[in-house]
């Protein structure tokens, strides 16, 4: 299991379009990616659920990656967050 934390810098947070891109990114890997905001969590590939977490600028989220290709996946997802959120 791999985990990293990230604080959102994008002024509009995780909204529809980047959430969709994130799903596409996650689907490239076999690992499951879970996003935590406080107590609430959901799978990163569940676009609607992810948007439902209401992640906005300044929120610190935890991303947990679990699966056979978690190393590569964690690296790619972290890079993705930095680039998009």
Question: Which bin fits 54, alpha (ψ -120 to 50), beta or left (φ > 0)?
Answer: left
For this structure, is 15 an active site residue? Answer: yes
Instruction: Tokens 């790619």: give the residue.
Output: 76
For residue 76, state whether it binds other proteins (rule: CB under 8 A): no
Residues 4-23, interacting with other proteins (CB under 8 A): 11-13, 15-17, 19-21, 23
CB of 52 to other proteins, least distance (A): 3
- Could you tell me which residues are beta bridge partners of residue 64? 3, 34
Q: Closer CB to other proteins, residue 18 or residue 71?
A: 18
Give the span between the Cα atoms of 77 and 65, in whole angstroms.
9
| Orientation angle between helical segments 70-84 and 16-26, nearest 10 degrees | 160
Active site residues: 15
The contact set with other proteins (CB under 8 A) reads: 11-13, 15-17, 19-21, 23-24, 46-49, 51-52, 54, 56
């Amino acid at each position: 299991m791999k985990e990293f934390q990230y604080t959102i810098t994008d002024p509009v947070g995780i909204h529809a379009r980047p959430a969709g891109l994130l799903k596409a990114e996650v689907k490239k890997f076999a690992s499951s990616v879970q996003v935590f905001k406080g107590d609430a969590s959901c799978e990163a590939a569940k676009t609607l659920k992810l948007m439902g977490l209401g992640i906005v600028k300044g929120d610190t989220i935890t991303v947990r990656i679990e699966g056979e290709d978690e190393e590569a996946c964690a690296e790619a997802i972290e890079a993705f967050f930095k680039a998009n959120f």
